[in-house]
Amino acid sequence: MLLLPRRGLLRAGLAAPWLAPLGHLRARAEEYPFALGVASGEPGPDSVVLWTRLARRWRDGGMGEAPVPVDWVLARDEGLRDVVRRGRAMAVAEDAHSVHVELSGLEPDRPYWYGFTALGAESGAARTRTAPRPGTMPARLRFAVASCQQYEQGFYAAYRHMLAEDPDLVVFLGDYIYEASWGRNLVRSHEGPSARDLEGYRDRYALYKTDPDLQAMHRACPWLVTWDDHEVSNDYAADRGEAEEGAAFLGRRAAAYKAFWEHMPLPASARPDGASARIHRRAGFGDLVGFHMLDDRQYRAYQACQRPGRGGGGYVSREGCAELDDPARSMLGARQESWLREGLAAARARWTVLAQQTRMARLGTQRTPVTYWTDGWDGYPAARARLLEDLAASRAPNPLVIGGDIHAHLVAELRPDFDRPETPAVAVEFTGTSITSQGRQYRETYPADPHIAYANGSARGYLMMTLTPATATAELRAIDDPRDRDTGIATQQRFVVEAGRAALHQG
C-alpha cells in the first residue's frame, strides 16, 4: 500500500489542506450546501464510490424540492489539477439531494483526490484510494474498525486519533446513528424525538454528520459500512421491533433503510427496495485480504423465548429456553448463509475477514444457571456452530472475525464447540469497543470461557488492524474521556496472529 507522508503534519496539529472544506470561502455559511461533508467507499481495484448530500442545515436539509446539478472531479493530486475524470450528477429531493458517483476504469492501488461543486460553492478536496489488483500481494493493509457512535454520549475524538494513524480504510460495523436518546451524563443532544419516519432518520444522520472529526475521517480514506440495529430500532429482528411488528414495523424499516443508503458511500446495488436492501457483499485488497461484509439483522429469526407481547433480546438459560438450540433458527438467513459458504470455499486471499456486527464468541453470565444474551450470536448457537463448521471445512486461509455492538474490546479464539477447548481454533476474533456509546464493565479473565483472551468495556475507542502476508496485528485503542474533545488515547492491549495458525499472541 502506498503511504502518504502526513503523519508529521498531524502530530504537529496541522491537517493536510485537503482535509478541510474550502467551500465556505465562496458562500455564506447559511448558504453553504456541503454542511454534511463528503465521503468515499467501496474501493475496488479499478473503482470507488464518491458521496455527498447537499444540505444547508442538518434539520430538513434546507434544499427545497428542485433538482440541483452537482459537478464532481477526480484527480491524481490533492490540488485537483491532474484530472482523471469529471462529470455532473443531479441531486434530487427524492433522495434527500444525496449523490452517489460510481467510478470504474481507475488505476489500481493508488490514492485519488476528489471534490464537488454546487450552487457556486466547493466542497474542498478529499482523499480516497483504489484497492490492489487480484494476483498481487501488497506489503500491508492498515484499517480501522469502528462502531457504535451515540452522538449524545460523547464527542468523536476517537476519529481525531484514528485520523492521525493514517489508515488505508475504515470498516464500520453498525450503529452509525442511534434512533433514540438514552444514557447518562449526556454532553450534547439529538434535539428531537426518536426517529420513526423518513424525515426523522434523515435529520438524525444529518446531525451526526455535522461533527467535524467524523467528517475529517470520511475525507481521509474510503469506508466499508454495514448496519446493526440502531440504524432502525433497538434489538430489531427481521420484521419485529421491541414494541411493533409486521407491516407497521416494515414501514419504519423502509424509511430507515432509505435514509441509511442516502447517507452512506454505497453503490446503486445497495439502494433499498422498500423494506429490503442487500448490503452483504465482498471486497478484496489484492491477494492479501478478502472481506465478507455480513448483515445479521434483516434476515434473522426472532430472538429466542421473547417476553409476551414484546420483541428484542433478553437473558435466558438453555435449561429454561429449548428454542435457543433450535437448528432451524438463523442469524444470517438461509440465503446469506449459502452465499457465505460459497464465498469461503472460493477464498484465496492470505487473510479471510468476516466483518459482522457483534461478538461471536460464547460468553455466558457467571450466575447459576448460566444465562446467555439472545440478541447476539449466543442467542443463535446452532447457527454459530454451523458457520464455524463451514469455515473449518472451507479451509479459507487465516480466518479473522471482526465485530462491534458490545461497547467493549474483546479478543477470542473461535471453535464450533466451545465446550471442547482442547480442539484447535478455526478463527480468531477481534471485537472493537464503541466510538462513544456507553458500555458496561467486562472482567479481563473468564475462567468459564477459556477461549476469551481479553475483555474490557471500560473505555471507548476503536481497533487498528495491520495485515501483512505474515501477521495480523490488532491494537485495541482506547480514548481517555469521550466527554472531552481534546482527550488523549492509549493502547489497552496488542495482539498478533501469525499466518497459518489460528492462535493469539500478545505483543
Q: pLDDT per residue over 163-213, tens digit each? A: 999 999 999 999 999 999 999 999 999 999 999 999 999 999 999 999 999
Distance CA(463)–CA(144), nearest Å, equals 6
Q: pLDDT per residue over 119-146, tens digit each? A: 999 999 999 999 999 999 999 999 999 9
The β-bridge partners of 146 are 172
pLDDT, residue 260, reads 99
Residue 112 pLDDT > 50, yes or no?
A: yes
Distance CA(123)–CA(289), nearest Å, equals 33
> What is the pLDDT averaged over residues 239-261?
97
pLDDT, residue 444, reads 66
Domains by residue range for the chain, with CATH: 1-130 (2.60.40.380), 131-506 (3.60.21.70)
Torsion angle of C-alpha atoms 408, 413, 416, 421, degrees rounded to 10: -120
Residue 12 pLDDT > 80, yes or no?
A: no
Q: pLDDT per residue over 53-95, tens digit each? A: 999 999 999 999 999 999 999 999 999 999 999 999 999 999 9
Q: pLDDT per residue over 386-400, tens digit each? A: 999 999 999 999 999
Query: What band does 443 get if pLDDT is binned at 50, 70 and 90?
Result: confident
Query: What band does 445 get if pLDDT is binned at 50, 70 and 90?
Result: low
* Lowest mean per-residue pLDDT among 318-322, 425-429, 445-449: 445-449
Distance CA(292)–CA(289), nearest Å, equals 10
DSSP state of 346: T
- Cell numbers placing 430: 477481534
Q: pLDDT per residue over 14-63, tens digit each? A: 345 445 554 444 445 678 999 999 999 999 999 999 999 999 999 999 99
Three-state SS across 254-287? Answer: HHHHHHHHHHCCCCHHHCCECCECCCCEEEEECC
Parallel, antiparallel, or unpaired: how do β-strands 489-498 and 505-506 relate? antiparallel
Q: pLDDT per residue over 336-358, tens digit each? A: 999 999 999 999 999 999 999 99
pLDDT, residue 214, reads 98
CA distances from 19 to 9, 54, 219, 332, 376 (A): 12, 18, 6, 38, 37
> What is the pLDDT averaged over residues 461-489?
98
Residue 5 pLDDT > 60, yes or no?
A: no
Query: What band does 10 get if pLDDT is binned at 50, 70 and 90?
Result: very low
Query: What band does 267 get if pLDDT is binned at 50, 70 and 90?
Result: very high
pLDDT, residue 198, reads 98
pLDDT above 90 coverage of the chain, percent: 90
Query: What band does 2 get if pLDDT is binned at 50, 70 and 90?
Result: very low
Distance CA(56)–CA(447), nearest Å, equals 54
pLDDT, residue 507, reads 79
Torsion angle of C-alpha atoms 487, 492, 497, 498, degrees rounded to 10: 90
Query: What band does 7 get if pLDDT is binned at 50, 70 and 90?
Result: very low
pTM of the predicted model as reported, rounded to 2 decimal places? 0.95
* Lowest mean per-residue pLDDT among 27-41, 100-114, 316-330: 27-41
Place of cell 467486562: 442
Query: Are the C-beta atoms of 458 and 434 separated by less than 8 Å?
Result: no
* Lowest mean per-residue pLDDT among 9-23, 261-275, 359-373, 476-490: 9-23
Characterise 120 by phi-psi region: left (phi > 0), alpha (psi -120 to 50), beta (else): left
Q: For the packed helices 212-220 and 157-164, what is the interaxial angle rounded to 10 degrees?
A: 30
> What is the pLDDT averaged over residues 403-407?
98
* Lowest mean per-residue pLDDT among 220-224, 261-265, 373-377, 420-424: 420-424
Measured in whole angstroms, the distance separating CA 158 from the mean position of its chain's CA atoms is: 14
Residue 295's nearest CA partner among 245, 341, 259, 333 is 333
